[in-house]
Structure 1
Amino acid sequence: MAGLALAGPTGAVLAAAGDVRALLTRTELDRAGALRSAADRDDFLAAHALVRLCAGRLLGRPAQSLTVVQSCGACERPHGRPRLVEAPGTGVSLAHARGWVAAAAADGPVGVDVEAVDGTDVDWRTAGAVCTGKELAAVRSDPDPRRAFLRQWVRKESLVKVGAGTLDEAARLDLPVYGREPPRWRGWRLLDWGGTQAVGCVAAREEMRLRLLG
């Protein structure tokens, strides 16, 4: 069975999810409430609701019946890789970035990332730290360097989330350059998507289906 990824604007996801506060745990609601920005709170709530909707569709279960928890091996704070209490064998992942959210569920490890495309310039110091020389050259020569860099970033972030590497060693994840679809990378399938406002990627061992909301 193929895995499933869902992504879309925060507003569209909140509209589709209904009463998101009825879906989330007290811990998640407290984390959302601690965020100062209303936009950040909406992104958080939408992403945590979307991962339940995504997993629910994959498993054939109501989103309300699924509990998402996060834990960190380095501290006691409730963050880190998410997991489903009721289906620990199902991998789940979520992401949010300035008005956009994404989630994925699969029968095994899965990682998803999304980034909003804006008019800001590329931070070349960051780009040099996370890209290989070949990738960096491709980003510099692209007509839209910012978008080209974000494409590589979301690919690498999705691989980091499945444990294929770390952001500290992102330049060692030698991915095909922007503009070329990489169906696999060392056994991982990479599924890209993107429009004029956001780009994203999901990484998994299995085939993934993608549905864009809104």
Structure 2
Amino acid sequence: MEKFTVLEGVAAPMRVINVDTDMIIPKQYLKTIKRTGLGKGLFSEQRYKDDGSENPDFVLNKPAYRKSKILVAGDNFGCGSSREHAPWALADYGIRCVISTAFGDIFYNNCFKNGLLPIRVSPEDLEKLFDDAERGANSTLTVDLEKQEIRGPDGGVVKFEIDPFRKHCLLNGLDDIGLTQQKQGKIASYEQKTHEARPWA
């Protein structure tokens, strides 16, 4: 898993509450178990018209936000059904951080397992970040995980809380497999002792 240390990039404002996982990645894209290629389906029902052309009114289709790495979103982002494809689609598109006042629990947990940082902030701080994100090409934010702060284009700072274990995993690029591999020496030692004690097993 890619490490998350400091992320600097354009933040796209999405002033929509209760964005569920079906809106993030509609059901027709769930046939694959690959983590790549899902970026094209991200918010597809909002990004594209019925004829397949782009919807110019959708934020990620606006020139200033096409390469956004951060999403500033309304309350209760990622609610709805459990689908790991939602963080996969965000990551494949290039978004590594989502900022909101609240998240759906399963989506929130899935983000950490896939190298995305979901940040909870107060409604007041979210409003400040929306103001920053609505500056178009000048809406660059810097997310510093080690310092647990978001720095705005004018030097304003928003602090955030995060579970220390999840912070450690993101900083070191450790998903569940990576955490297990850290214990490879102990696992090998245990298996060797078990084989010596019970060679028939």
Interval containing the TM-score (normalised by the shorter chain): under 0.3
TM score, norm. by length of structure 1: 0.24
Which structure: greater strand fraction?
Answer: 1
TM score, norm. by length of structure 2: 0.25
Q: Which has the larger radius of gyration?
A: 2
